[in-house]
Structure 1
């Protein structure tokens, strides 16, 4: 998730082990512990853009690294504590415990998103993605932040427990909404007479009601949006061909650097890849601003004239007024096709 969410969740969890007079200090240690795993963004290569994808949410986010990662954070904070009053007043055990509790939340919270987190590194390189939370959601983060600050200033532990309660309720709601979105996506496939090879539903940005549904059928990906509020709504989307290197890039040598890079990107994106029409670009279907559109936010670009060089990375996150207005209308439940009656017909 975003850094602010990671910091406040780490702070809230660390506060559960604090005395009333230590709530603020424990929160700071927990917040830094919660933020620290994302320092893996520093692992980059000027010649290989996929190094970042391989190392982000890798060993720093794994379950086995939590004690060591927390200890490193504690050592840094302990070294500067004499200069910062907000870090003073804890024993070594209390400081490490707060860092440990904050650090432990990070990988698990990231695994709730759809990006993928290597929780079981080095035993497995599987990217765990429970698809139950958007990467950014102020409705989740802001109440926790307010309650953590209030608990620290007022020295009231019950405010911290309210923060943890809100966190638990929101995560539970995410799991339930994901279940409902999967059911809606399955119904969309049935409406078209399809039996998907695989199907997934991922939350759109900053909400738990509008979801991106992707399923694979007969060599194509079908991308739709489903809204799971009091009424289930369907926003029909697009169909695109699944990436086939032999068909889409017949000149790509199987043992070339770029062919291996495509496989690395396929692993990162869980195989949800497609090719832009008349372009050497391969996009990650999982992410687009409008959940029923095939308009990837990022991907790789091949150069078949120099296959021994690494692929190039591209990103496109621009939006315009039309896209923003359409997104808001979807979130509000306007213009969709109802899935709660027999009138939902395939486009």
Structure 2
């Protein structure tokens, strides 16, 4: 999630365990430690544009790395801040480890994918229960955290922990409702999906992006699950088949290996939306559209050892924002009646 939320949750858990005299120190140390795992974004390469995709949410986000990350953060933060905040080294280590531990688990609740079991597994865990930015989750946590600081009372943070668990549980419930609507939609279209996922859209738990896969296509729709589920029409795109879509590509080239890397990062939700662009169909601002936020571009004239190019796109146009708002607020739009493969 965003750094602010990671810091707030990272501070909340240690504060909930602290006594009055250590509460400020627990909040500061835990908050900083809670943001630290995202320092992996600094791992980049000027020659390999996909390197950061492999390392972000990798070893620093592994459950096995939590004790190491907590100890390193705790030791450094103790000498920088902990002594001034009247914490013992043991307390600094404890509060830092608690703060650090919240980070990967919260990231796994989003849609991006987190390598919780690295190095034992390269599976990207994405539980799809909360948007990567959600003020409805963050602001109550922040208010309770600040109240706890002012009152020097850990009960406010304890309420914050309860709030976080309840909100994420509600997200899981809403995800199940959205996916149930997605399966009904696919059945109405005469499809038997290979897999289907629902992902929360920006800053809410009632408008969801549906993505499901058939033998030939990816289908993208939106569903609003505030009250009776309402499904909105979407797009479809043919699945990537490297040999068919890029017949000129040397399968032993670096670009072919980069396609495989991007395929892993995108959990297989990849398609060609332009002659030489491979995109991640899971993300778009308007949930029933396929307007990818990122992807890779191949070059037919590149050398065998040349990497692909990586691109990002953000459609923040007034039209896109208006379309998102229409779906978010449930304004009239005819639900999908049915669709079949062509």
Mapping 1:6-45, distance limit 5 Å: 6-45=6-45
What's the CA shift for 1:337? 4.3
SS at match of 2:173: helix
TM-score normalised to structure 1 length = 0.95
User: Which range moves more in the overlay, 262-271 or 302-311?
Assistant: 302-311
**1:289 is aligned to 2:281:** no
Aligned to 1:216: 213
Deviations 1:109-149 (A, max 9, x none): 10011100000000001101111111000010011011101
3-state secondary structure, aligned to 1:326: helix
How far apart, CA to CA, are the structure 2 residues paired with 1:336 and 1:184?
Answer: 17
Q: Structure 2 vs 1, CA of residues 336 and 23 (structure 1 numbering), >3 Å: closer, same or farther?
A: farther
1:121-140 superposed matches below 5 A: 121-140=118-137
Q: What is the aligned-residue RMSD (CA, Å)?
A: 1.3
Moved more, 306-315 or 54-63: 306-315
How far off is 1:188 after superposition?
1.0
Match of 1:230 in 2: 227
2:56 corresponds to 1:56:
yes
Q: Partner residue of 1:299?
A: 295
Show structure 1 runs of 4+ deviating over 3 A.
Answer: none
Q: Name the TM-score, length of structure 2 as normaliser.
A: 0.96
Corresponding residue number in structure 1 for 2:47: 47
Q: Once the two structures are superposed, what CA deviation does each residue of 1:291-332 show, in whole Å capped at 9, x if it has no partner? A: 000100001111121142011110001311111111111111
Maintained 8 Å contact 1:110/1:116:
yes
Separation of aligned partners in 2, 1:256 and 1:225: 38
**Distance in 1 separating the partners of 2:330 and 2:295:** 30
Structure-1 residue corresponding to 2:112: 115
Contact preservation (8 Å) 1:33, 1:99: yes
Instruction: Tell me, yes or no, if the aligned pair for 1:24 and 1:153 is still in contact at 8 Å.
Output: no
Which blocks of at least 5 consecutive residues in structure 2 are unaligned? none
CA contact (8 A) 1:234 1:336 kept: no
